[in-house]
Every structure is written in C-alpha cells, then in structure tokens.
Structure 1
C-alpha cells in the first residue's frame, strides 16, 4: 500500500492520483475486505475529537487527502516531503470506473437516492459500455435493523463486486465501512458527494476555483443550513489545531497528541 504521513492525529496516504487508482485496483483484484477513506478537513477534525473514529481511519487500507488543506498539511507538517496533490473522491470516481472497465473489474453503488443511482448507471452505460455495474442500493435514511442490514450485505456479496462505492456522508459512511469489514467481500470506497456530481445532478466548481480552495464555500452556499457548522466551525478548528502543531514543531516541543 501507499506510505502514510501524519496530519494532526490522522495518517494520510501519499502519492499521485494514478498511484491511488493502481492501489485501489490492486485491492479489488485481491478480493479481500478492505476500505478506503477520502479525508477532508471535517474528517481530520472528527478524528481529532473522537478516538473511535480515529481508529477507523487508522485501520483503513488507504486514506486519500481529499481536501486541499489536508493535502497541503502533509507537506507543512512533515519535513522534506514533496508536495502532495489533492486526491479527491469526486475526481477519482470517474477515473476508477474507467480503469475498472478496462481491467474487467465490477462495481456496485451503495447510498444516496434511487434517482442519483439511476443517473449514475445511465452515464456509466453511455461512457463506459464495458463497465460491469453489478448492483445498486439506496438504503433508507435511518439506522437499519439487523435483519435489513444482513439482507443488504447478502445482496452485495451475491452480486460479488470488486469495488463497492459507498455514499452515506461523513462520518456515517466511514463507520459503515469499518463495521462491514470482513462481512462485505469487496474493496469499499467512501466517496460521499461524488455520487450526485458524477450523476450530473450537482455541478462542480471550475478547476481554477478548486485550486483556490473555494469548493467548501460553494458547498456552503448550496446547503447553508446543513453545512454552516461543519465548514465555519470545523474549518476554524482545523486552522487552530494546525497552527498549534506547527508552532510546536518550530520551537522543538511536541504538541499534545490524542491517543488512539
């Protein structure tokens, strides 16, 4: 797997986007139960606050630097480290689908709504006719009963995908993947908001705006009532924690670290 470096108390995998695609395809080909996280600021701060969630990230096969601040912090906090590019789930999803079609690996989409899933399958059918989409599932927006959960796991395993893309929102999707490791026989990838973007139901900011780290502002503008706390408070917390850790490095004194 790819090497990992610390960002605050999270361990972030490093490498170019192509390295992540190759590593994920390898996990799919191995037919082992593993999961991949795409870490943005919200996820790193959640891991800092919650020891249980921090363990979930540490047990992931890969933790991609999904957010630009997280990717930049890999270099800021680790001396002599080359610049780490952002590896966003929204960007990697279409690349992985294309690579899966070329390599013969099958995929399954789990999460969001029936409308989003139908649009995703339609796009994949138009652009990647060789891609094997072996199943989709839109679970209810509530905790599943043990019987419901067992039925969904059985359906996924019966479809036998190589790659299982999961979109339940952070941190729910990461908790779901960790809870289903060794139960679901696939490489699970928590890609969240990548589903409606790939489906064409939600626009993506142009590249120049993403390079200026403005994607969080755009998402906040789209859903202010749901996301204001996550972005305004969580982003501020991340800046504070990063400044504290950076200052500790400058004065040669280790900052307090949470235990796993």
Structure 2
C-alpha cells in the first residue's frame, strides 16, 4: 500500500490552532474559499474538512485518526462550539464558523465563474440525482463533471486507483465528498495521494442541498444547538454521539483552558493509514 498514507509535504499556515489535540484553522469563509480555489487553479493535492464537535472528538479518541486530521491542509470550525473553543483557547476572534454546507454554497459560484468543474462523491444515487439538479439550478454555469455514489464498504489500493482514474478523466478540478464522519476524512486523506486537486469533506451538505434533510433554524445554529435539531430528527442513530460526546467535549475543553491538560497534536503527515479505506 505504498500510495496510501505516504508522507506528503504539507503547507504549515499560521492559522492552525490546537483544540484538544486536533489542529483546527482559525479562518472565515473568505479565506477557506480562496485556499480551495487556489489549489483547484494550480492543480495540486489539497485536503479540507469542516469539523463539528463529533469530528473533533473522533480525533481525541483515536490517535491514528488525529494524526490523519492533523495532516489535512485545512480544517475549519464547523459550528459554534468549535468556534467558541478557538476564541476561548487562542483568542482567535472569529465571528463566524465555517460549515461544510455553507462553504459549498459560497465556493461553487466561484468555481462556476472560473469554469472549474466539480465531482460529487458519496451518499446514494437518488441523493446525487437530486443534488446535481439542485446545484445546477442554484448555481448557473456550474459544471458537474461526474457523480459517484458510496458503495458503503471498504476498498483496497487497486480500487482507489480506479476511482482516482475516473475522477481525473472527468476533468474535475475539485471533489466534494460526503461519506459521513470519520469515513469521509479517511477517504479524502487516502485519495490525496492519487489526485492533484482539492478534496473537500463536506458532511451533510449533500443531504441538505438535495432537499433530503432540513437544516437547523438559524437561531439554533447561532446558539450552538444544531446538535439538538439533528438529535430530534434522528434520535436512535445519534443519541450516543451527542449525549455522550458533547459532555466529554466540554470537560476536555475546560481542562485545556485551565491548563490541567495540555494535549499534544500528533505529528502531521505521518498517520498509519489503514490497509482498506471506506468508499
């Protein structure tokens, strides 16, 4: 598996901050969009994800995954609790968070204006069909070079190379990935070795923009209550995530803020990648 998890050179921007051992970038939408566009224009490998509390905690509880996350070029604060952490721990002064769904809406008009096609990877065939139609209607001139549904299983290096070949031959200049956390981050990081273009793990953006799922009202998002909205919609699937991880996140954040715990980020760019990757 020489291609997967090989050490890759990473930029070391001064926006990265330690949140419970996970390096999160203190950036706004404008900076995030410009960084992704620059990588798309230059045809260079680039990995981006937007992490909410659950995403951060996957890195806290799994050192191998933390190392993978800390090898991403850009990790944005998705939701108020992660924005609050950056402001509390590092005085970042951020006025907004940077979510995957909203980033998509701000990025795609710029991609369309510069004639940079996108590729959609993940979710189900039905969602991709609705999403493609919705994005083309919402963003005139947007080129969707291809769309590929998740197989909901794992794949080895040969299959990853085949996926990369399909993406490359489509002419896409960026890939939006929606496989759920942490599967999408594992996939994006592994595929970085094979593709000279940005890979963006955008979470529930596919379901939201395809009209398959409703976003939390603005007032709930502003108060850091998006998790409560999601829990009400999918209680059986999400109760463990939110009712167990949220208190753990707050406790760990308090410990770091008080200096009781000094989490060390794992070395960036050197995670031990799995032999198989979720696709």
TM-score, shorter chain, exceeding 0.5: yes
- CA drift of 1:83 comes to 3.0
Decide whether the 8 Å contact of 1:33 with 1:184 is kept in 2: yes
Q: Residue 179 of structure 1 aligns with which residue?
A: 190
Give runs of aligned pairs for residues 111-260 of structure 1, distance below 5 A.
Answer: 111-248=122-259, 255-258=261-264, 260=266
Say which is worse superposed, 2-11 or 182-191, in terms of deviation.
Answer: 2-11
- CA drift of 1:129 comes to 3.0
Is 1:39 the equivalent of 2:51? yes
- Normalised to the residue count of structure 2, the TM-score between the two structures is 0.86
Decide whether the 8 Å contact of 1:38 with 1:89 is kept in 2: yes
Decide whether the 8 Å contact of 1:51 with 1:259 is kept in 2: no
- CA drift of 1:246 comes to 1.6
2:135 and 2:262 map into 1 onto residues whose CA distance is 47
CA gap 1:84/1:73 in 2 versus in 1, 3 angstroms? farther
1:27 and 1:220 map into 2 onto residues whose CA distance is 36
Number of aligned positions between the proteins: 254
Please list every run of 5 or more consecutive structure 1 residues that lacks an aligned counterpart in the other structure. Answer: 249-253
- CA drift of 1:195 comes to 0.5
Q: Report SS of the residue matched to 1:105.
A: coil
- CA drift of 1:178 comes to 1.1
1:157 and 1:168 map into 2 onto residues whose CA distance is 20
CA gap 1:217/1:124 in 2 versus in 1, 3 angstroms? same
Q: Residue 11 of structure 1 aligns with which residue?
A: 23
Is 1:101 the equivalent of 2:107? no
2:166 and 2:229 map into 1 onto residues whose CA distance is 36
- CA drift of 1:145 comes to 4.9
Q: Residue 270 of structure 2 aligns with which residue?
A: none
- CA drift of 1:259 comes to 5.5
Decide whether the 8 Å contact of 2:150 with 2:179 is kept in 1: no
- CA drift of 1:189 comes to 0.3
2:14 and 2:77 map into 1 onto residues whose CA distance is 12
- Normalised to the residue count of structure 1, the TM-score between the two structures is 0.92
Decide whether the 8 Å contact of 2:135 with 2:209 is kept in 1: no
- CA drift of 1:29 comes to 1.1
Q: Residue 55 of structure 1 aligns with which residue?
A: 67
Q: Residue 64 of structure 1 aligns with which residue?
A: 76
